[in-house]
Amino acid sequence: YFTGPPPGIPPGRWGIPFIGCLPKSSETVFQHIENLRKEYGDIFHVKMGSRLFVVLSEYNIVKTAFTNPNLQGRPDFYSLGVYRNFENKGLVFSEGSKWHNVRRFTLRHLRDFGMGKSSMDVTVQDEAKALVMDLEKNCEDPIELTLSLNCAVINVLWQLVAGCRYDVTDERMTYILKLTNDDFNDIQGNIMILDMFPALIPLVPRFIKDKYMKLDTMEAGVAIGREFYMEIIQEHQSTLDPENPRDYIDTFLMEINAHQDDPDSDYTLENLLVSLDDLFAAGSETSSSTLRWFVLYMALNPHIQEKVQRIIDEVVPQDRLPSIDDRDSLQYLEAVIHEVHRKSSLVAFGVYHRATQTTKINNYKIPKDTIVMQNTAHIHNDKAFWEKPDEFYPEHFIGENGRCLTKKDGFLPFSIGRRACLGETLARITLFIFAAALLQKFKISPPDGEILTTEPIDNPLLNQVKPYKIVLTKRF
Ligand code: HEM
């Protein structure tokens, strides 16, 4: 690694020894990657610090790579280790059999409790209703969508996970959601220097880690999160009835009890804590951010908004909220939500994968420990798949029979392969019912005289929309 790129790897930029090829101060990470892609094509390498990255910018290459068993690991980034005690635990950043077992267990039990099933209808409708009622308080005034949106969204998942929900204005929950949002910002800040240059970890003094990389803030956030999860777990422990498990936490506790004599068990209290944190973080910010993009695109495209409202009014009586059963009749709304996923490309470079073995992709060598990224935003604008990539054009997803194409080549908001999003079915139902409820109840417009833009926050991981204000007007 000191002499230059290993033979056989994809073309790209090795950069200068030790430093590699980092983004210039005038460039965002996205611009850096895009500039390299223009120069080296759909599969290229870039060394940043001591890490070798391979960036995939074509749909079929991502499909091949992310179904390859040797590319299912995760990088051991320092920033992410802080949240899991630097251990191979949880769901999102674990790997190997530990990841595989807990992922399978989690999927099975969340499904048993209703994830992705029409039995969730009433739960999701109730949360959409709570959000609508909260928003109704500020109709006609320019407002930002506050954390009450995140609370309503997480409540859907949390009822499967922990059997409870919170009022959308609950102070403690709002605080935990704010911390989660801050965590996303902190792991994308200066601490990334240690992710790229792990040799510096023992050399950088603690006060620099605290002052410039916010390590103390991150650790304090971890402690508060753990206290929150521990309270819920203890409450479950004291009321657990093995004959009638109520939720995911109950089933996990039963598994811990069943394996308590096995020192290598994947089912430990520590693993439950990290898994809860992973589910909370993965499930709240993603769907909430997508809904913020949705509302923005609706404000910017009044004719599309009106078209969806016309269809909703035709098929859903005003005295009830839209439900999963209305999906068949609301295919255009489905297409609009898919187009929001495409245009926002929320998880801009996917969640990084790591090569656990040296392997080959498209005849290129991918050395062990290479970090593999999918260039989602580029793929979502690839002219080979999208007729009008620059426009907000829901027709991209309308098939010949007029139905929404939920699976489409060139489209991977939830990624692909064995590590693909675990919560996709839940996210789809939540987004559908929330989006339908918002459009049924409100006309969404930009504040008078304001021009809204679709500029994202300049973050390397999550393409979140910059805060904006809209005006909601009651429709009836
Ligand atoms: C709009 C909403 C969402 C989007 C766009 C999204 C997107 C993604 C993406 C791109 C990945 C990375 C897959 C990979 O590594 O290749 C992922 C992973 C994951 N997502 Fe989601 N997600 C969403 C909602 C949710 C929800 C509601 C949950 C809650 C259950 C969830 C749980 C997870 C978990 C646990 C993983 C890690 C999977 C693994 O590493 O095996 N996500 N998601």
pLDDT at 109 over 70: yes
User: Is the ipTM reported for this complex over the cut 0.90?
Assistant: yes
Which residues are CB-contacts of 190 (< 8 A; sequence separation ≥ 6)? 212, 213, 214
Contact 287, 413 (CB under 8 A): no
**Per-residue model confidence (pLDDT) at position 281:** 94
Tell whether ligand 1 has an atom less than 6 A from the beta carbon of residue 150: no
Mean pLDDT over each residue of the chain, to the nearest integer: 95
Please tell me the residue having the least CA distance from ligand 1 atom 32.
Answer: 423
Please tell me the pTM assigned to this model: 0.96
pLDDT 10s digits, 42-54: 999 999 999 999 9
Sign, Cα dihedral of 458, 462, 463, 464: negative
CATH number of 12-474: 1.10.630.10
**Per-residue model confidence (pLDDT) at position 1:** 54
Q: Where are the domains of the chain?
A: 12-474
Tell whether ligand 1 has an atom less than 6 A from the beta carbon of residue 414: yes
pLDDT 10s digits, 142-169: 999 999 999 999 999 999 999 999 999 9
pLDDT 10s digits, 228-284: 999 999 999 999 999 999 999 999 999 999 999 999 999 999 999 999 999 999 999
205 Cα–ligand 1 center, Å? 34
Percent of the chain at pLDDT > 70 equals 100
Tell whether ligand 1 has an atom less than 6 A from the beta carbon of residue 337: no
pLDDT 10s digits, 359-380: 999 999 999 999 999 999 999 9
Contact 469, 450 (CB under 8 A): yes
Binding site residue list: 421
Confidence of residue 112 (pLDDT cuts 50, 70, 90): very high
Tell whether ligand 1 has an atom less than 6 A from the beta carbon of residue 274: no
Locate the ligand 1 atom nearest the alpha carbon of residue 413 and give its number: 5
**Per-residue model confidence (pLDDT) at position 445:** 98
Tell whether ligand 1 has an atom less than 6 A from the beta carbon of residue 371: no
pLDDT 10s digits, 114-142: 998 888 999 999 999 999 999 999 999 99
pLDDT at 2 over 80: no
74 Cα–ligand 1 center, Å? 14
Binding site residue list for heme: 421
Contact 444, 295 (CB under 8 A): yes
Calculate mean pLDDT across residues 296-322: 97
Please tell me the residue having the least CA distance from ligand 1 atom 41.
Answer: 419
Tell whether ligand 1 has an atom less than 6 A from the beta carbon of residue 322: no
Tell whether ligand 1 has an atom less than 6 A from the beta carbon of residue 426: yes
Locate the ligand 1 atom nearest the alpha carbon of residue 374 and give its number: 16
**Per-residue model confidence (pLDDT) at position 185:** 87
Q: What are phi and psi of 465, to 5 degrees?
A: -75, 145
